[in-house]
Structure 1
């Protein structure tokens, strides 16, 4: 005759099954990836769980509205700012700058004031930077065919030195070029004039829709004065300060991140296994459990979005990552003077067209010329321009 169990007691078989590591691990997977992560990440733009159908259109519209408000704020910033007199501007150019910030600009949608946003952020950050940024200088490179039609650039002539491409020997031929070749020539022109006129040690070539992050100068100082003094980082052809967030995942055509992804598993696998052993009163770790949590942590980071974990590196300049360069894109590029001269020589032999824009041309030079280049992670600028000057779109989206 079967003995009756006390009321509320569980059969021993059921208790054993619930305490099984396999069952517990399966339950963890279901709860994490079936419930918690989808609920918390559905509005994260760069997560696999982002609900694009529901959120992309309203988020894109909110971004455009905020961008327009930021443009007006930048316009008011310069309207209130007292313009330096000519003697003050000349005093600031008395010696070659250590870092020259050259902003390349062309007329875009005027209501967004892209170039004003970029210039205002750089100007404010330089003021806050103080003595450590005394040998930094901002220059505007206006590549509009009719420079006087670029009203925002005309406003900035009161505050910064300006280089206009009008009257250059190639300007009259621009209407015969495809947009991608013209963009490459404009880029090379601004880089060349930055070297010829100002003779800086480093040139930061920034497009007029790349707003700097708050920590850009402390990070650049750390990188240039310490990290890039190491032999394997010296003589880089260029250093990218931006790579699109949507292309920063581990599962990507760029395989150099696989080692980092394995490192995530090697770090968090044992740690999570220790927590599991402690909470379940197990006396020792087992390799299957360490392997499970390594794979679990790798999957979690990838599905939530590598971009969001990279943001943790902003806590201090030494935490920023330097990786072998990736192909797309060129909103902010850092060159030393010698490397900039090499780039100019290389670009003269490159013809750009649709599918082979200047970013692809620069990337192709690495293998062709035996050069090296790097990208800084996380990004040191934010790309705010949803309206491209070469790829026209009437209804732009964040993705």
Structure 2
């Protein structure tokens, strides 16, 4: 079934899953759609203003078997193709960009939501996604420095989350960790060893030790502590990498589609 733009309901959040046909044994979009459906059911009344939209960008939309199954449960839009064969001069990146713009524009046209979460069909949501988004909507997005943001990335690969990274704020965070844990570990050591007081050499040693240990263990493991409460999540400047899950305010979605 095709989504209709006549629906007067305006959701707070529209989750648009952009999908293409993959190997038959993967069924990525089935997994992602079922996860979102389960989490929305679990969320209950707080998520009644959320909707899911499937965006089928397969060259032959009717060949996407998984979407045909899901079309009985979720509204769907398809990117129709004129002519039999795709343009051979169109490279993969340009095609993906055009598909992305199509899904963004259709999301605005069909539902006109306040926010669009554009998700690729292999991006499985975490259990706490809706509680975190609710906190962002109510407490964070009203801040002046976030009011005109173009988009918010909800995913960053683990390999790029280490401290040895070209992002300057990451180095400052690493130094801050050492400056905090160095004195704390020194005081704990002096108390356990019965020493009279700390020395700067000992503070420096424990600071460097904690910094080295955090890098060896992996910064991303420490970031897992954020899952204890939505307020522990942080909003930082986005890097260039990776777009599996992107959150757009409606006005920003219009700007982004114009830029692309």
Give the TM-score band, short-chain normalised: over 0.9
* Equivalent-residue separation in structure 2 for 1:99 and 1:338 (angstroms): 13
5+ residue gaps in structure 2? none
1:152 aligned residue (37, 42, 66): 66
Aligned to 1:102: 16
Match of 2:234 among 308, 321, 326: 321
117, 131, 156: which is aligned to 1:218?
131
Is residue 2:244 matched to residue 1:346?
no
Return 5+ residue gaps in structure 1 as ranges. 1-85, 348-399
**Partners of 2:18 and 2:31 in 1: CA distance:** 13
Distance 2:182 2:83 in 1: 59
After superposition, the CA RMSD in angstroms is: 1.8
The aligned length equals 257
| 1:222/1:318 contact within 8 Å kept | yes
1: distance between equivalents of 2:11 and 2:88? 34
| 2:41 corresponds to 1:124 | no
- Name 2:152's counterpart in structure 1: 239
**Larger RCO, structures 1/2 (Cα 8 Å, 6+ apart):** 2
Distance in 2, matches of 1:241 and 1:148, equals: 31
Partners of 2:10 and 2:233 in 1: CA distance:
28
Superposed structure 1 runs of 4+ greater than 2 Å apart = 169-176
Partner of 2:211: 298
C-alpha distance in 2 between matches for 1:189 and 1:344: 8
Distance in 2 between residues matched to 1:289 and 1:228, nearest whole Å: 43
TM-score (normalizing by structure 1)? 0.62
In structure 1, the partner of 2:184 is 271
State the partner residue of 2:140. Answer: 227
TM-aligned CA deviation for residue 94 of structure 1: 4.1
TM-score (norm 2): 0.95
User: Residues 20-70 of structure 1, C-alpha deviation per residue, up to 9 Å, x if partnerless?
Assistant: xxxxxxxxxxxxxxxxxxxxxxxxxxxxxxxxxxxxxxxxxxxxxxxxxxx
Q: State the distance in 2 between where 1:263 and 1:229 align.
A: 28
Structure 2 partner of 1:288: 201
In the alignment, is the contact (CA less than 8 A) between 1:145 and 1:171 conserved in 2?
A: no
What is the rounded CA distance, in whole Å, between the counterparts of 2:228 and 2:116 in structure 1?
Answer: 26
Confirm or deny that 1:164 pairs with 2:85.
no
Are 1:204 and 1:333, in contact at CA under 8 Å, matched by a contact in 2?
Answer: yes
Superposed, 1:1-399 pairs within 5 Å as 93-167=7-81, 174-347=87-260
Please tell me whether Structure 1 or Structure 2 has the larger radius of gyration of its CA atoms: 1
- The one-character-per-residue Cα deviations of 1:350-387 (angstroms, maximum 9, x if unpaired) are xxxxxxxxxxxxxxxxxxxxxxxxxxxxxxxxxxxxxx
